[in-house]
Structure 1
Amino acid sequence: MMKIVRASLVAVGISWMLVSVNASAQDQKKPFVTDLYTADPSAHVWQDGRLYVYASHDIAPPKGCDLMDQYHVFSTDDMVHWTDHGEILRASQVKWGRPEGGFMWAPDCAYKNGTYYFYFPHPSGTEWNKTWKIGVATSKYPAKDFEVQGYIEGLESMIDPCVFVDDDGQAYFYYGGGGTCAAGKLKDNMMEIDGELKTMEGLEDFHEATWVHKYKGVYYLSYSDNHDENNDKEGVKGDNRMRYATSKSPLGPWKYQGIYMQPTDSYTNHGSIVEYKGKWYAFYHNSSLSNHDWLRSICVDQLFYNKDGTIKMVR
């Protein structure tokens, strides 16, 4: 009788755990922002213990990606319930920006010595594709009171800034586009390049969306590729895939490792990878709410590593 009771209790316990796991998986909504269109999620965990996501904003009705504006910040402490901290910056607040506004593309944020640094690409002229600058706004808070301080001088006209702060406090700046990814050290003021930028070598089919994270002492550089379903010989539907490479140094050389995410239902993809409370997550965007390439929504899935440090395919 005792064996039967114990077996029943074990069965009930297992059933309860399965229900809890399924409920947790269902609660972690994809997309997790549903009241406005968002893209290009840049995820960070700050000293207050919350995970923050800095996202660009697609404005309806869309006009390609021209009308993107009004960056928002979202945060969570359980990966289930999210707080929208509201808008932190828009094109009209950028004095050196193009008069027509818009074109506030994929951002990033970094923290150093009590200050949050928000990096964003924005053109300075009407001829937007030739006048990109990487602007910098600062605040003492992670999700409010950002003020534009200027832009990083001496850069080429490229997009998608990423700033990685290593364990020793040294900050590294990455950006790119059009098949080129460049990177270098940042000075302590977080607004100037220290020395010269160099092209990142070893990245196969790089397009844009650079992101750098560190796992067990190894540096990972992830990015979107140039995949086009119209030219795909393997029959893979969709466009940008997410690839990655690894290195023993934050500035390479990089060893290409493969694809970690196949295309979503959106023409683009842009991701970030971060650890939170002992688990790793891959952030990205899709078009599942709108069924429109330029009205996107940010999503998250758990990310897993193989024993050799390679990343398992995120599904």
Structure 2
Amino acid sequence: MKNFKVNTKRPICIWMKYIMLMCCNSLVLGCKMQKATEKTAENPFIRNMYTADPSAHVWKDGRLYVYPSHDVDPPRGCDLMDQYHVFSTDDMVQWKDHGEILRASQVPWGRKEGGFMWAPDCAYKNGMYYFYFPHPSGTQWNKTWKVGIAISKKLASDFKVVGYLELGDDNYAMIDPCVFIDEDGQAYFYYGGGERCAGGKLKDNMSEIASPMIFMEGLKDFHEATWVFKRKGIYYLTYADNHRQGNKGANRLSYATSTKPLGPWTYRGVYLDSTGCDTSHGSVVEYKGQWYAFYHNSILSGRGNLRSIAVDKLNFNKDGTIQKITQTGIVQRQVEDKKN
């Protein structure tokens, strides 16, 4: 009887090929799923009304919320802006309008003529949501700015005005409030308008300044629209600059970095070119492992005072600097306009 040898290598090879094939299929499926979750809605992503100055936050329910201002149609300028809505998403594609949360007539100390409900911000601490909004208290709007505070236990409804921040007698261009809460729980308040940017610590009650406001140092060509966030130990302050193209306003979004929340800051450059509006205003937030930059443009209306909010992915270089954003949605609209 001849010796019969069992080929043990062949079954092992077959199983190895099978396992490798399954792994490859899993990787492909995983990549497809990742690409699916990375999709964003077509810009502008809010089309049922005109919106601007988006303040984006991720809250404990896992959704991403945007608190913008509202441009009134037909426009007369930014003086008619009179109310705030809230929008949210859990996939960056489908957006929910939670409705109106506040308007000028609900501000007891506000100017009798209403309007001037400009860029807001929202923060969460101590089981409460704090909504900060700029609004004048008198007819001479640019000399009577205050930063109002409305609070609610809900993140998109039932806000009630409880007062305003006491920031001293210098009320000029006290607009575009921003609240940043650091990892240690300390909250910081910033505002920025009229080519100056100020910041200071907030008390734990989120309604009083804990230290005197100081003007931020190191910012280049600051105009307005302060936004502060932190990534990998680096503090970022983004803002609209004073860039002009001819006689038409064309602010860009620039940024600076620091190792401290109140600076001094080091200017790093422009991360978003002009969006076609007379103004620019943005926010930056991380959601499900991807960073996003929110801003506004005038794609839908073609008018700088009828704006719409948009969002694009924001990426960083290894040294922490921001890669310039490629705006989506603009090219498509320009092509359509040329055809028409």
User: Matches of residues 158-197 of structure 1 in structure 2 within 5 Å?
Assistant: 158-197=174-213
The corresponding residue for 1:6 is none
Look up the match of 2:19. Answer: none
CA contact (8 A) 1:110 1:163 kept: yes
Post-superposition Cα deviations, 1:243-294, rounded to whole Å, max 9, x if no partner, equal 0000000000101100000000111110000000000000000000000110
Distance 1:195 1:25, change over 3 A: closer
Between the aligned partners of 1:14 and 1:52, the Cα distance in structure 2 is 31
User: Which residue is equivalent to 2:51?
Assistant: 38
Report the Cα offset of residue 176 of structure 1: 1.7
Is this contact kept in 2: 1:222–1:245, CA < 8 A?
yes
Contact residue 107 and residue 121 of structure 1 kept, 8 A: yes
Which residue in 2 is equivalent to 1:219? 235
Name the counterpart of 2:111: 98
Question: Are 1:79 and 2:92 an aligned pair?
Answer: yes
CA apart distance, 1:295: 0.4
CA contact (8 A) 2:55 2:282 kept: yes
Q: Does structure 2 conserve the Cα–Cα contact (< 8 Å) formed by 1:238 and 1:264?
A: no
How high is the TM-score relative to the length of structure 1?
0.91
Aligned equivalents of 1:260, 1:92: Cα separation in 2: 37
Deviation at 1:29, TM superposition (A): 1.4
Q: Deviations over 1:139-184 (max 9, x none)?
A: 0011000000000013432111000000011000000211110000
Specify the alignment match of 1:302 in structure 2. Answer: 313
Cα distance in 1 for residues equivalent to 2:32 and 2:183 = 39
Distance 1:89 1:73 in 2: 10
Where 2:110 maps in the other structure, the secondary structure is coil
The structure having more radius of gyration, on CA atoms, is 2
Deviation, 1:28, is 2.0
How far apart are 1:22 and its partner, in Å?
8.0
Tell me how far apart the structure 2 counterparts of residues 26 and 173 of structure 1 sit (CA, whole Å).
33
Paired position in structure 1 for 2:332: none
1:99-114 pair list within 5 angstroms: 99-114=112-127
Regions of 4+ moved over 3 Å: 9-27
Match of 2:280 among 262, 266, 269: 269
Are positions 1:283 and 2:288 aligned together? no
Identity %: 67
Unaligned runs of 5+ in 2: 1-13, 15-21, 327-340
Whichever structure has more strand as a proportion of its residues is 1
Query: Would you say the 8 A contact 1:280–1:303 is kept in 2?
Result: yes
Change (3 A) 1:27 1:249: closer
Distance 1:168 1:240 in 2: 34
Partner SS, residue 196 of structure 1? coil
Q: Residue 102 of structure 2 contacts residue 159 of structure 2 at CA under 8 Å; is this kept in 1?
A: yes
1:154 aligned residue:
167
State how far apart, in whole Å, the 1-side matches of 2:312 and 2:35 are.
Answer: 14
Cα deviation, 1:11-36, whole Å, max 9, x if unaligned, reads 99999999888877775211110000
Aligned residue for 2:303, secondary structure, equals coil
1:228 Cα deviation after fit: 1.1
